[in-house]
Structures are given as structure tokens and as C-alpha cells.
Amino acid sequence: MTAFAGAEREIGKWTFSWEVRSVNHRYLDIALRLPDSFRFLEGDVRNRIGQGVKRGRLDITLSQKKAQATENGLELDTELLGKLLEATAEIEALASRSLGNFSAIELLRWPGVLRESDTDRGQLAPILLELLGEAMDKIVTVRANEGAQLAELIETRCLKMREHIANVRKRMPEVALGLRQKIHARLSEITARPDQDRLEQEMVYLTQKMDIAEEIDRLEAHITETLKTLRQKEPSGRRLDFLSQEMNREANTLGSKSADTETTRAAVELKVLIEQIREQIQNIE
């Protein structure tokens, strides 16, 4: 599942914007890009994201730019400038000679001496978190809509699986009869008058070995639980992932126990449908 959302607001002479990009991921993985002056928000930002999203990789960026051409809004970092002058005087004292007069332009070129005046970051914090909330609400809505569509696709495949299972269950008596006939034919090749007790022993052994009733029942139960989970409101991606693994295990066992081509074909179709379900589940929170 891929989703994108953003939120923008003009605050004073600045425009702040959040961009949120979401892709499917097994766990919650958050990548943040914040301006250096707003790094202190990282903990609050992660907490806010975790309130609405439990799974997926989210790339989140906060951008800051001038809203419009206004006064330059420049100010001196007098504390840094004072330290530079003190350092210059100290160097001259150690060298026992003057280093010459620094021009104002040279001092202004020092990184950080001249900076753009800024709104108090503490006052901006709740506003920016509120703006992030708007972007997250949008992303949650987009993901919910896509999730509903995926749920329909998964449900369709579950119902198709039920059709295959019903056909396999319906043919079980016929398969058992065919198996009995094959055993009788093989014993007849060995002896003209097959031992009835021997025939029954072989039947019991092979019937137990190739009995697929339990696999069919468990597949049905997993499908029912999957459909039930799809209708729940809370995040269910991990549970659906687990159920799909269990269904795949039962389908594999069904295929290995198959005593006829039709059952084998049904097992293959079931595995194809389960794999399609597993692919879709990776996109569900």
C-alpha cells in the first residue's frame, strides 16, 4: 500500500509544510527529516505518528520556507560575535602582536553570526504538531480506503478457496472407493484370490496416510477466521499474515496427501490463491 499526504500552514513570515509518504512494511518504520532547529520535536512527532499508524514505512519531512518577500528579518548573534572578538584578543595576546583590524564584513561572514530572526520555537511546537496531525489524518484515511479495497479482494479469494475445498470434500468418498479398487487390483496381480484381511489392512493404512479431512477442516477454519478478521476495525495485518501462513501449510499437506489428480489440482489452485492473499496482506495494517 502506497499513500501520500501533506499539510501546509503559513505562520508569521514562514510557511511550514509536512509531507508524509507511506509504503507497506511488516513493522512500523519511521524516517524523519526535520530542520536542525526543530530536532527537539522528534520524540513528540514519533508519538503522534504511533497514535494513528501501527504498521508500514513512513517517510516524514518538515519543510520551512519564507512565506513572502518581507523585511530581511536579519539579526546578529551577539553572543557568538562577542566570543569571536574575545578569541581574537586572546590570540593576539599569545602572539604578542596585532593581527590587524577585522572589518565588519569579515566578521559577518563567520557562520552563524548573521542569522534570520526566528519565531520562538517553543510557541511553534504545538502548532507544528497540530499541522502534523492534519497530514496524518489524511494518510490514515487514504490507507483505510485502500485497505477496504484490499479486503474485498482477499474476501473474493477466500470464497474461491471455499469452492475448491467443497469440491474436494464432495469427492472424498469417490476417491476412497477408487483407492480401494486400486489396492484390490494390485493385490490381484500378486495372487488370484486376494486375502480379504490383507486388503482391509492395506485400506486402513493408506486411508489413514492419505486422509485429508483434518486439513480440509483446518483450511475451512482458517478461512472463516480470515473473513472475520477482515471485518474488524482494529489493525489486523499481522494476524492475517499468520493465518495465511497456516493456510499455506495446510494446502501443502493436502497436496502431499493427494490420492488423485483432481485433489492435486485443487491443492495447486489453493496455493495460488493463498499466495495472492499473502501478497495483499503485506499492504494491510
Per-residue confidence (pLDDT) for residue 111, from 0 to 100: 75
Judged against a pLDDT cut of 60, whether residue 210 lies above it is answered with yes
Please write the tens of the pLDDT for every residue from 137-183.
Answer: 999 898 888 888 899 999 999 999 999 999 999 988 888 777 777 77
β-pair type (28-33, 56-66): parallel
Helical H segments across the chain, by residue range? 42-52, 78-95, 104-108, 121-190, 196-210, 213-230, 237-257, 261-281
Per-residue confidence (pLDDT) for residue 216, from 0 to 100: 92
Per-residue confidence (pLDDT) for residue 50, from 0 to 100: 87
Per the prediction, the chain carries an average pLDDT of: 83
**What whole-number distance in Å separates Cα of residue 285 and Cα of residue 141?**
12
Per-residue confidence (pLDDT) for residue 181, from 0 to 100: 75
Side-chain-facing half-sphere of 169: CA atoms under 13 Å: 14
**What whole-number distance in Å separates Cα of residue 170 and Cα of residue 160?**
16
Residue from 241, 218, 217, 220 nearest 229 by CA: 241
Size of the chain, expressed as the number of residues it contains: 285
Burial 152-163 (b: 16+ CB within 10 A, else e): eebbebbeebee
Please write the tens of the pLDDT for every residue from 50-80.
Answer: 888 888 889 999 998 876 654 555 666 778 7
Task: Answer yes or no: pTM beyond 0.75.
Answer: no
Side-chain-facing half-sphere of 118: CA atoms under 13 Å: 14
Highest mean pLDDT among 77-86, 166-175, 265-274: 265-274
**What whole-number distance in Å separates Cα of residue 153 and Cα of residue 55?**
20
Please write the tens of the pLDDT for every residue from 96-121.
Answer: 766 666 677 776 777 776 665 555 67
C-alpha cell at position 280: 495483499
Grid look-up 505562520 returns 11
Per-residue confidence (pLDDT) for residue 203, from 0 to 100: 64
More confident residue, 226 or 180: 226
Judged against a pLDDT cut of 80, whether residue 10 lies above it is answered with yes
**Angle subtended by helix axes 261-281 and 237-257, to nearest 10:** 170
* Class at the top of the CATH hierarchy for domain 3-70+126-143: alpha beta
Per-residue confidence (pLDDT) for residue 274, from 0 to 100: 96
Amino acid at 107: L
Please write the tens of the pLDDT for every residue from 123-143.
Answer: 889 999 999 999 999 998 988
pLDDT level of residue 83 (50, 70, 90 thresholds): confident
What phi and psi values does residue 203 have, to the nearest 5 degrees? -65, -45
Per-residue confidence (pLDDT) for residue 219, from 0 to 100: 96
CB-CB contact of 20 with 33 (8 Å): no
Q: Where are the domains of the chain?
A: 3-70+126-143, 74-114, 147-281
